């Protein structure tokens, strides 16, 4: 029994030692603003990465009402028109690691994919709200051959459904 505990402790220590080297290269911070409306509904939000020709490279997050019975929450996904045309209509929701519940007012962080090849990309954030509007924000960035991320524009300000969107580079 002592050997099993010692081996388990070594595995945990070894795993912990590896974590700092596997840091996330970039994150996106998305602000869901407080709106003064009579009937507030949390926005559905899609976050994805595309190439400069607007071809989808990766879906990062889709926040919608995943808990509704009979997949009723999927009914409004097409309201996020840009994401729906580029990716959503070909997916079978929910998608593991991508789909999640809508988020409350505040700032929320999501990790960008860390396996992007060297090249130019655009991160998209699109929001749509029941009885509300739609908004689509884009932030261009590039990945160098060594995997580092650069961006001339690291912030974009929404005007209605989204607050500030920030690309956070952790290198």
Per-residue pLDDT of the chain (171 residues; tens, 9 = 90+): 444 444 444 344 443 333 333 456 899 999 999 898 888 889 999 999 999 999 999 999 999 998 888 888 898 899 999 999 999 999 888 888 899 999 999 999 999 998 999 999 999 999 998 878 899 999 999 999 988 899 988 999 999 999 999 999 986
CB atoms within 10 A of CB 149: 19
Beta strands in the chain (DSSP E): 26-32, 44-50, 56-63, 99-100, 106-111, 119-128, 134-143, 149-150, 155-157, 164-169
Of 136, 137, 141, 138, the C-alpha closest to 121 is 141
Determine the pLDDT at residue 24. 61
Determine the pLDDT at residue 10. 39
């Amino acid at each position: 029994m002592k050997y099993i505990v010692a081996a388990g402790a070594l595995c945990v220590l070894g795993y912990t030692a590896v974590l700092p080297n596997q840091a996330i290269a970039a994150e996106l911070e998305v602000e869901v603003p407080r709106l003064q409306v009579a009937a507030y509904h949390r926005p559905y939000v899609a976050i994805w990465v595309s190439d400069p020709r607007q071809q989808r490279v990766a879906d990062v997050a889709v926040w919608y009402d995943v808990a509704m019975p009979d997949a009723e929450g999927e009914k409004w996904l097409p309201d996020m028109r840009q994401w729906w045309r580029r990716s959503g209509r070909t997916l079978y929701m929910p998608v593991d690691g991508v789909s999640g519940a809508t988020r409350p007012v505040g700032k929320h962080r999501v990790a960008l994919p860390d396996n992007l090849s060297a090249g130019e990309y655009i991160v998209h954030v699109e929001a749509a709200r029941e009885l509300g509007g739609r908004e689509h924000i884009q932030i261009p960035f590039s990945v160098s051959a060594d995997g580092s991320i650069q961006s001339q524009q690291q912030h974009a300000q929404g005007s209605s459904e989204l607050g500030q969107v920030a690309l956070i580079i952790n290198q």
